[in-house]
Amino acid sequence: MAEMSQSAPLSTTVSNDSTSGPTGNKRKRADYRQSQREKRQELKTVVFEANDISQDNIKLPKKKYYRQRAHSNPFSDHLLEYPISPSHMDWHKLYPALLPPKEDESTELARKVEIVDVGCGFGGLLVSLATEFPDKLILGMEIRVQVSHYVEDRIIALRQQHANEGQYNNIAVLRANAMKFLPNFFGKGQLSKMFFCFPDPHFKVRKHKARIVTSTLASEYAYMLRPGGIIYTITDVLDLHQWMVRHLESHPLFRRLSKEWEDDDACVKIMRKDTEEGKKVERNKGDKWVACFIRLDDPE
C-alpha cells in the first residue's frame, strides 16, 4: 500500500448542524428554557384533576439546561419580590389546589406553611418531604434564578404525573433571599421545621458574615419556629458544622438534640440521602455532619 504523501492535506469535515458546538448548545439551552418558561407561566397555578391528562406524556425537566454558578451573593440587591408582611403574601399562587385565593374570606382560616427548606437547591429534599408529610405545606427557598426555575418546573411535572393521587400539591418553591426576608413571609411561631442542607460554607474569614447561621439569624429562626420546632443542619464541611453548632448552642432558645434522636428521626434519614449534595458526598465517600436543635419554650 502506498504511503501517504507528507504534503497531502489533512481531510476536514465541516458540520452544517447548527445545534453542534458551543454556540449550538447555547441556542439549544435558550430554546429549552424559553419553552419551559412558557409552560411554567401557563401551568404553575393550574389545579390538575385526576384523569384529565395523560401522565405518560409528562417528563421531568432536564437539569443540564438550568446550570448556573454554584453560589450567589446574599448581600447583593437581587430582583426579588417579597410581601411587606406575612399577611400580605398570596400563598394561593404557590398552592392553588390547597389554598383559597387571598381575597377569599376564608383565607384567614387557611392552612399555613409549616416546613421550610432554606436553600433548597434542586429540590431533592423537598420532593421527599412531600410524601412524608402529605398534610403539611412545605416551601423551598432558593436564591439562584435557574435553580429555582428547575424546582418549579419539577414540581409542576410531578403534580401532573401524580394527578390521580393528588400528590405534590403541598410543596412549592420561592426565589428568595432567606438572609434578608424570612420575616416578611412567616409569622411568629408559624414553622415547625427548618432545614439547612449543605449551605454555602463561605470559607474565607471575611465571608463568614454571609453564613446562613449566625447569632442574629438564630434569633430570627427562634421567632418563626414554634416551641418544640426543629432546626435541621447538615454539611460536609467540618468547620461549618462546628460554626453552626456553636452559634445555635449558644442561643438561649435552642438546645441540641442527641445523636440517638437523630438516628431515629425520619427527616434526618431523608436529609442524609435525598438531597443532591448528600448524594454527591456519598459518591465521593465524604463525611456528613448533622446537628439538630429544638426550639425551647419562651421564658416566663
Q: Which residue has the cell 432558645?
A: 253
210 grid coordinates: 454571609
Residue 200 annotated among the catalytic residues of the structure: yes
Closest listed residue to residue 237, CA positions, set 211, 255, 276: 211
Three-class SS string for 31-95? HHHHHHHHHHHHHCCCCCCCCCCCHHHCCCCCHHHHCCCCCCCCCCCCCCCCCCCHHHCCHHHCC
| Catalytic pick among 117, 153, 200, 274 | 200
Q: How far apart are CA 15 and CA 12, in angstroms?
A: 10
Crossing angle of helices 124-132 and 266-274, rounded to 10°: 150
Q: How far apart are CA 65 and CA 146, in angstroms?
A: 9
Residues labelled catalytic: 200
